[in-house]
Structure 1
Amino acid sequence: MLLKIPLRRNQAPADPAISLLNPVLMNAQLNTQNLTLNSPILDESKIRNSAMTVIETEARAISALQKRVNGSFLHACQLMFQCHGRVVVIGIGKSGHIARKIAATLASTGTPAFFVHPAEASHGDLGMITQKDVVLSLSNSGETDELLTILPLIKRQNVPLIAMTGNEFSSLAKLADVHLDVSVSEEACPLGLAPTASTTAALVMGDALAIALLEARGFTSEDFARSHPAGTLGRRLLVRISDIMHSGKQIPVVDQHDSLTAALVEMTRTGLGMTAVTDDQGHLLGVFTDGDLRRAVDDNDIDLRDTRVGKVMTSNPKTITADKLAAEAAQVMEAFKIHALLVVDDENHVVGALNIHDLLRARVV
């Protein structure tokens, strides 16, 4: 025998607490609260004052760091500069986020570095740290349990330890070979709870370390580009004329004694909107462009069938060498309002050609 229990449709739950778990009802209640016209968050002057207070508080925290570029800072730079392995940056919570950024900045500016999560280090990742490395540990309190757990093991390996804390008397600071003081007098958070000024101070100190090391290593813009090959800056600093120019049979070239008709055929064949004009030894004499053609058509004294291209070409054209950066070609084109360039060698022989479309395809401009 089956027992049928009738169900009442559209019946609201008896317990009002259960209804609060309905996402639709919860969002409706939240939206209603946010639309309260008397909410101070809608006061423009209070918003502005709040933002200015945060900025001023964090600016003071950064300014206080200037006096802390001392012997400890120099010692930390020395340890990191002489490191034959990598700088291992560790931290947890908000300090962990800052530690990740510092590791990324160091790595992209010539100091090999990576981030290790201290909790994961306790479960195997500690093996990533070798005796050739230097450890940079971040903790505002200097008493973070996850860090203190792994520090004895790091010290046992005789790995240099740099601590960045807001408490020079903390356990982390005392265990470190070098302590960098990033303490702040107050947080920007009005509750004094959320890490704000303290994380900013730690971030700036990390940037100071990275840039000091960058300059000590003689790190150049080309070195930076090698770490950022996919970015716009990397392309502008790495792509050279030889990488994108047309070469061999793709170069439009005619002799100075050739006819305008021959020049037009050559321009059409390569599609670059111009052709190089050379002498009998292959030295560049000039260039014939679409603009030169228009001017020749408008000149009644010029017979397009009989005139030699050498008489209507533009002499001494702008050129560039194959070893130059593609970005330099873009600068030349922009400065002289031209759309194509011939590439020459030291003896003024034409070895390549390119136009603005080649630069666009290479994403240099």
Structure 2
Amino acid sequence: MGATGSGKTSFINVASGSALRVGSGLTSCTDAVQTSEPFWLENRLVRLIDTPGFDDTAKTDTEVLTMIAAFLSSMYRRGVMLSGAIYIHRISDIRMGGTSTRNFKLFRGLCGETMLRNVVIVTNMWGEVTLDPVLERGAQLKRHYDTPASAHAIVGCVASKTPRALCIQRELVDEQRVITETTAGAELGRELHEQAMKFKEERRRLQDEMDEALRQKDDQAREELEQATAELDQEILRVQTDSQQLASCYASDKARLKKMQQDLETAAQQESERQAAEHRRRMTDIDDRIRRTRESESRETMHLAARLRRLQRQQAEPARRRPRRGLWDDFLDFLSVGQH
């Protein structure tokens, strides 16, 4: 996990040898939760999960949270837990402030305090990140050198850990909470509320300036302020919509994943049935070949036995055709020998 442009997908590709699409700069390319190719590390088969950032350029924070939450809860319902979580600190965020702090708070809300011992925080800005609270609870801080060996060392820090349920998995599945009542959902709701209050305060300020421009009859300033107010109204509407759609987006993503799982199970069942039918066909073919071979061998055996009997008869026939010798024949032979 991590902010957009932090290098999550690149890290996964380096570690696993996958070819997931990578964005450029701070433009997001990961618009859905995706998984790497499985790879062996320290006698363990590892698969990494890539997630969109909370400041995604194409999706709202609400959409990103519900997407991640739906994926994690679906995985947990199937009995699958994570060995660990890797948070990648964006290289352009020199210090943990503003957006970075908000992203990390949401990440922490997703993981929960007990999962922090299975967390590795990765940074390219050594010495610039202050994360003492989470480090004190067992999280590790590692530097990535953009090499497979470096990535494998980082993954190895959590691959050997005992798999644990994330906080949001326990809240959504075990405790049956709605997403707005989860730790991460409440944190996002608080952030959205603060944004709404900030935007409304900014709008009041713009309205005061617009009123002053009207009194001064400054048409250019008034037009600029009207445009700024319209843009701010759009931001206020976006924040309000995000806040209202948190539960509905989660339900939609959950249903979508359930449908995908059912489709995969159906496809797997059909493939299993196809393979079973193919196996039965091959077994029948082999049985037929064995039967034909045995029949052929039986006919050959009978043919050889018949030849053997014929040869035996032929050997016996000359003996039967020779005349039987008697005493008179022996006497004549004796006389013949005596004459010589």
Answer yes or no: same fold by TM over 0.5.
Answer: no
Larger relative contact order (Cα-Cα within 8 Å, sequence gap ≥ 6): 2
TM-score relative to the length of structure 1: 0.29
